[in-house]
Chains A and B, each alone.
Chain A
Amino acid sequence: MTRRFWVFIEQEEGKIHPVSWELLGVARRLAGEIKEELEKTQEQAVVEGVLIGHGVDALANEAIQYGADRVYVVDDPIYEHYLNKPYYSAVVSLVKKHQPEVMLIGATTLGRDLAGSVATSLGTGLTADCTQLQMGEAKGGTKKLLLATRPAFGGNVIATIVCRNHLPQMASVRPRVFTMPAADPNARGEIVRETVAVVESTVNAQILEFIRNGASSVKVEYADVIISGGRGLGGPAGFKLLQELADELGGVVGASRPCVDAGWITYDHQVGQTGKTVRPKLYIAAGISGAIQHKVGMQDADFILAINRDPHAPIFEIATVGIVGDLFDIIPAMLKEIRALKAEKTQPAGQVGGENVQETASPTMQADGIAK
């Protein structure tokens, strides 16, 4: 038997959501974690992607570069835009045909809509918003199971969840929880075209209009630099100051939940348990006390700079560097210092001035892709 590790490859209008590649990386690792079992049983483990859409051929090749051994493509005009029932029906029929052991789906708005429907339809278990995934020993010496770990009760505890008697073992994962694997342009794999019988009868909804407004295009989860504000800002005006610093550093503005609840800034900016998970290179937390619900969303940042008036604020427990003081003094002082540093840098070198933020590789490019 072949043990199949599946990833749902999310695309809209021909653009892949980068979480799909992150999950292919996870699936590769999981397949490797059962190596010893495979040696005993002479089985093999494969990583496979499921790609649904219309005119999505080129994307299947990309999936192979990011780690898929095989990609099942369901291509039909009916799948041009995501609709719940046509999509979940297609996924369910492929699962029944190929019987994967594990299925991973990005916990995006599309992925969550899909995952719950697929799991219920198959009568299997689904663990949402996993932060760790591992193939581990099950009691009783049977095959290794997917150990799906996620925060619960607002991040106050970490629970490991197993799905013992049902397949596939399903898990959803938020973008940026796992790192992006490197694409291998020489990777080889197989593209399998699948046709799904159901089609027209599954269409029970009609999209009348798409409203694309620029306002909701903040992509906090894929930003390299995030300047986040909390209750300490005291009102919506404080975010202007943070925006100024964000502009200077080529970053975006984030926020903690109380600011969003108070209407100081829109939900797209919210970082934390009920907002976005982020892993920027630099996270500046200004006036954020650091409730556990916020921390679970940003603790994987490479560098955390916390600014708070209260020396006992929990945010300092996870900060790389903390400054105790008034953010309304500190941020302007930082702006001044950074502007001075940049001026100093551009003068002697002359040409380097223009090409600052764009040095990072594909994740940022991908993010630009979805941010339209």
Chain B
Amino acid sequence: MFHALVGIKQVPDTTNIRIDPETGNLIRQGVPTILNPYDAHAVAAAVEWKRKLGGKVTVISMGPPATVASIRECIEMGADEGVLISARQFSGADTLATSYVLAETIRAIHQKDPIDLVLFGKQAIDGDTAQVGPGVCVRLDMPLVTYAIKIREINLEERYVVTERKTERWNEVIKTPLPTLLTCEKDIAEIPFASLPDLIYSLGYEPQVWSAESPVMFEVEHIGLKGSPTMVSKVTTPEKHTQGEVIRTADAGLEQAVKSALDKVKASGVLSAMIGEAK
């Protein structure tokens, strides 16, 4: 039996965030939250391999109670169980404190129900740090495979997984003993269409909710703000740039607009070797 665990995060859809032009504050109201897109692909990969090998997929997340929506989305995709780690004490966690809570949760689940593969998205789109996966991995002392694009083979008898990962220079095919932790690119698996029974089941699904004390007694000095070595000391809005000249083809005519834009490029000298300086 194959047991995969996927760590997920519910994130604000950063493409829809607006800033209050007067106060410079984030307008959180009405910003939709979504299941982090990379995590969705990680869940899809876990479910795909569960269907090949038989077994189950557990999803865990640390976050506010509303995270239930994202856990249900994973159940809809075919995950079997969800655990939400949620309490006020966890808030303000940076990546170090987050990796502590997730690692201890995984450890506790693993003791009852041994895990073969842990999957994370390669990064969350709100922070883009890509630090939590490697952090959890260090705490659990598992092999780490980041930027995974394809699981080629999982061998439960000989206890290994063969993964293809994409780096800036090349792709690597890497063999690691189970349990291994993968952080996944979107290529890892296509998001499946939910089956009707999964869809109906997910609507009423209630995940287990773990607090700061039970069933795992998390150490207070390692969670939330207290467990976070980094602190935000200042928040500002990005500087406004000064606007340059805008030429309209409708006014200047196509040829003239292009010519005068290119004259500006030439005058700045950025392409001197290519098209020469303006006279």
Q: Contacts of A85 on B, CB cut-off 8 Å? A: 143-144
Partner of A320, one of B166, B244, B254, B275: B244
- CB of B189, distance to nearest CB on chain A (Å): 16
Stretch of B39-47, B126-134, B196-204, B210-218 lying at the A interface: B126-134
Known: A120-B139, A123-B229, A125-B96. A325 touches B249 (CB 8 A): yes
Q: Which of A211, A249, A320, A334 has most B Cβ within 10 Å?
A: A320
A60 within 8 A of B: no
Known: A303-B265, A334-B262. A155 touches B238 (CB 8 A): yes
A366 within 8 A of B: no
- CB of B257, distance to nearest CB on chain A (Å): 5
As a 0/1 sequence over residues 101 to 133 of chain B, the CB contacts with chain A under 8 angstroms (1 = contact) are 000000000000000000000000111111111
Interface of A is mostly: mixed
B15 close to A359 (CB less than 8 A): no
B195 within 8 A of A: no
A319 close to B234 (CB less than 8 A): no
Which range holds the interface residue count of chain A? 35 or more
- CB of B13, distance to nearest CB on chain A (Å): 9
Known: A85-B144, A154-B15, A337-B262. A319 touches B244 (CB 8 A): yes
- Nearest opposing residue in chain A for B181, CB measure: A84
B88 within 8 A of A: no
A84 close to B143 (CB less than 8 A): yes
B52 within 8 A of A: no
Give the complex CA separation of A125 and B249 in angstroms.
52
- CB of B224, distance to nearest CB on chain A (Å): 15
A42 within 8 A of B: no
Q: Contacts of A120 on B, CB cut-off 8 Å? A: 96, 99, 131, 134-135, 138-139
B250 close to A211 (CB less than 8 A): no
Q: Which of B1-27 contact A (CB under 8 A)?
A: 12, 14-15, 17-19, 26
Q: Which of A267-314 contact B (CB under 8 A)?
A: 273-274, 281-282, 291-293, 295-296, 299, 302-305, 311
Which range holds the interface residue count of chain B? 35 or more
Give the complex CA separation of A341 and B168 in angstroms.
36
Known: A84-B144, A117-B137, A273-B128. A324 touches B248 (CB 8 A): yes
A330 close to B131 (CB less than 8 A): no
- CB of A289, distance to nearest CB on chain B (Å): 11
- CB of A7, distance to nearest CB on chain B (Å): 18
- Nearest opposing residue in chain A for B136, CB measure: A120
Q: Which of B45-78 contact A (CB under 8 A)?
A: none
Q: Contacts of A334 on B, CB cut-off 8 Å? A: 258, 261-262
Give the complex CA separation of A349 and B133 in angstroms.
58
Known: A281-B271, A321-B264. A109 touches B146 (CB 8 A): yes
B243 within 8 A of A: yes
17 A-B residue pairings within 8 Å (CB atoms): A84-B137, A120-B135, A126-B131, A126-B230, A152-B127, A153-B126, A154-B14, A154-B15, A162-B230, A205-B176, A211-B173, A303-B270, A311-B248, A319-B246, A323-B248, A329-B249, A356-B274
Closest 8 CB pairs of A and B: A154-B14, A325-B249, A116-B134, A125-B229, A125-B230, A116-B131, A120-B135, A128-B129
Q: Which residues of A contact B (CB under 8 A)?
A: 12, 84-85, 88, 108-110, 112-113, 115-117, 119-121, 123-129, 147, 151-166, 204-213, 216, 225, 249-250, 273-274, 281-282, 291-293, 295-296, 299, 302-305, 311, 316-326, 329-330, 333-334, 337-338, 341-342, 345, 355-357, 359, 370, 372
Q: Which residues of B contact A (CB under 8 A)?
A: 12, 14-15, 17-19, 26, 94-96, 99, 125-135, 137-139, 142-147, 162, 164, 166-177, 228-238, 240-241, 243-250, 254-255, 257-259, 261-262, 264-265, 268, 270-271, 273-276
